[in-house]
């Protein structure tokens, strides 16, 4: 053993300085590697990391046998309290609105009114026939395999109706954030989609931040238009909500590929994602040292 050779007559003795250096390097190499990995993980934290959960609406995966009315490859989600909780949560997004409930201000609280679902998730395979020859109207998504239709099963918009989805995100007070998304508009020559633009409203912490519309057309399919909005967080959490504001007569307002990223954080305040990654890395480093 090297340690036996290093102690002669009670004195520390290194007969080979090169061998000593190799020995010390071997002992410190695992710790050094852990430090390097931790540094790489933190420095490689993408500035574009999406803070939203399920921003492309790929969860839950829609069962191919699921129908919205007569059409397959879609699923309607409700704010109606009589439905299972899974029918009001779209992979981290909460369905909000009042088109499928009534009497929310009454002593009995919100009650179902039997209306169709206010929000739908549709897959790339969802189609509708139209025209005298039953041409195929496509609803291809912008990203992945699924997208949201904020008009729901037939446009449920109307006076006093605010159907949509929301999500609460951990933020840093004073941090500047970028929110971008794609808004879908179906071919306006197809029956059921002829009246006006697809329009949605963006609410941040319950305050209207902007209204976004698209009237772009692609023959027999959805056109996707990119929008971008920046804001400064005022609290440790921020609630993002998208609300349907599409006129009756247009039965599609697609939403897909929603991303929220931090542009700048006040000095000395790490982002929540950075803190989590740092804690994970330090725990791994500590575990490595304990095992030695």
From first to last of its 292 residues, the chain has per-residue pLDDT tens of 444 444 444 444 445 666 656 656 566 555 545 544 444 444 444 456 999 999 999 999 999 999 998 899 999 999 988 888 889 999 999 999 888 887 676 676 777 767 889 999 999 999 999 877 789 999 999 999 999 999 999 998 988 899 999 999 999 999 999 999 999 999 999 999 999 999 999 999 999 999 999 999 999 999 999 999 999 999 999 999 999 999 999 999 999 999 999 999 998 766 555 545 555 544 544 544 444 5
Q: Torsions phi, psi of 243, nearest 5?
A: -120, 135
Ramachandran bin of 50, using left for φ above 0, alpha for ψ from -120 to 50, beta for the remaining angles = beta
* 58 is a domain residue: no
Give the predicted TM-score (pTM) of the model. Answer: 0.77
Q: Are residues 125 and 255 in the same domain?
A: yes
Q: Are residues 7 and 96 in the same domain?
A: no
Q: Are residues 90 and 183 in the same domain?
A: yes
Q: Are residues 13 and 80 in the same domain?
A: no
Output the CA angle 21-23-25, nearest 5 degrees: 70
* 187 is a domain residue: yes
What residues make up the domain containing 97? 67-264
Task: Provide the number of structural domains found in the chain.
Answer: 2
Q: Are residues 146 and 260 in the same domain?
A: yes
Q: Are residues 41 and 180 in the same domain?
A: no
* 62 is a domain residue: no
Q: Are residues 21 and 78 in the same domain?
A: no
């Amino acid at each position: 053993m090297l340690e036996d050779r290093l102690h002669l007559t009670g004195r520390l003795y290194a007969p080979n300085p090169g061998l000593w250096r190799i020995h010390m390097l071997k002992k410190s190499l695992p710790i050094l590697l852990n430090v390097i990995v931790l540094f790489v993980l933190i420095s490689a934290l993408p500035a574009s990391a999406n803070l939203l959960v399920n921003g492309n609406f790929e969860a839950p995966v829609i069962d191919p046998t699921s129908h919205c009315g007569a059409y397959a490859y879609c699923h309607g989600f409700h704010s109606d309290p009589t439905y299972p909780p899974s029918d009001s949560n779209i992979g981290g997004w909460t369905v909000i609105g009042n088109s499928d409930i009534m009497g929310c201000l009454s002593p009995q609280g919100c009650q179902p009114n039997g209306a169709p679902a206010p929000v739908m998730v549709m897959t790339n395979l969802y189609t509708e026939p139209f025209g005298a020859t039953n041409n195929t109207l496509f609803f291809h998504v912008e990203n992945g395999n699924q997208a949201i239709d904020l008009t729901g099963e037939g446009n449920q918009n109307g006076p006093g109706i605010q159907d949509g989805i929301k999500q609460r995100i951990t933020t840093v007070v004073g941090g500047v954030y970028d929110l971008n998304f794609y808004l879908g508009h179906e071919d306006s020559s197809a029956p059921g989609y002829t009246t006006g633009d697809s329009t949605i409203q963006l609410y941040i912490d319950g305050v209207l931040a902007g209204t976004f519309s698209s009237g772009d057309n692609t023959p027999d399919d959805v056109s996707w238009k990119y929008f971008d909005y920046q804001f400064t967080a005022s609290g440790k959490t921020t609630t993002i909500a998208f609300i349907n504001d599409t006129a009756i007569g247009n039965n599609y307002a697609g939403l897909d590929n929603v991303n929220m990223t931090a542009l700048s954080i006040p000095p000395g305040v790490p982002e929540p994602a950075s803190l989590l990654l740092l804690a994970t890395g330090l725990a791994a480093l500590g575990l490595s040292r304990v095992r030695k």
